[in-house]
Structure 1
Amino acid sequence: MYQFSYAEVAQDTAVDARERERQAFDHSIALLEKAEKSGPRSRDAIEAIYITRSLWSILVEDLGSADNGLPEELRAELISIGLWIMSEAEAIRVGKSTNFKGIVEITRLIRDGLN
């Protein structure tokens, strides 16, 4: 019988977590791109904004936790980005912006930076 070391299990868990994060970003990006085509007042936009804000809300909360393993400066930068994305999504929701592209570009950069 093969026994896994704690380090192997912890590494697998980190890899799995990064993959889930990547999938969540991919889902948000796909919804935002669809919403951009459908227009800012569309049902697609409502869904994209809701999912994007929910995703970033969860990420910001996790990044703000002392238990988060990322360096403090990186966490602060990601929190700032997340707050900007949530603010921009809210601006789209209330009709003050149509900047889907900006949110998509930043989200792609963050997704592509996952190791």
Structure 2
Amino acid sequence: MSLRAYQQAATRAEPPRDVEYRLFGQVTRALIAASEAPATDYATRIDALDWNRRLWSTLALDCSSEGNQLPPQVRASIISLSLWVGRQSSLVMRGEDDFEALIDINRTMMQALSQKPEAPAAA
């Protein structure tokens, strides 16, 4: 089985929350590796920051779409976080801050995604 076929099968079998959790895990590991890389390893640092920024931009775009079923307050919070991630990433790229805040926010998202949604109360 090719890698692409495996990825498509895995995507169909995994609930969206699990896919998002896994993706956040991969991006967060890349941020951690970048934070531990030498300051002169620009490629590793920029690649991780760019991947994280693209993840958050994708989430914001999804939250702004009409068909998104998350509550409006949650959607607004994710969009706000995405904007913050963009600004924070720029600070880190310029060497004006470190990776820790970005890693922490991703870990917080992973923690939220790992919690099972509450079942609707019985009538």
Residue aligning to 2:66: 66
Instruction: Please provide the CA RMSD for this pair.
Output: 1.8
* 1:66 Cα offset (Å): 1.7
Match of 2:106, as an amino acid? T
In structure 1, stretches of 5+ residues that fail to align are 1-12
**Cα distance change, pair 112–93 in 1 and its aligned pair in 2 (3 A):** same
Is the Cα–Cα contact under 8 Å of residues 40 and 93 in structure 1 kept in the other structure?
no
Give the distance between the partners of 1:111 and 1:79, measured in 2 at CA: 17
**Cα distance change, pair 37–69 in 1 and its aligned pair in 2 (3 A):** same
Deviations 1:29-58 (A, max 9, x none): 100100111145422211111110110110
What's the secondary structure of 1:113's corresponding residue? helix
Residue 24 (structure 1) aligned with residue 44 (structure 2):
no
- Kindly tell me the number of residue pairs found equivalent between the two proteins: 102
* 1:79 Cα offset (Å): 1.1
Residue aligning to 1:110: 109
In structure 2, stretches of 5+ residues that fail to align are 1-11, 117-123
Give the distance between the partners of 1:57 and 1:34, measured in 2 at CA: 21
Residue aligning to 1:96: 96
Q: TM-score, normalised by structure 1?
A: 0.80
Deviations 1:83-111 (A, max 9, x none): 1112111211123222x111111111111
Q: TM-score, normalised by structure 2?
A: 0.75
Residue aligning to 1:86: 86
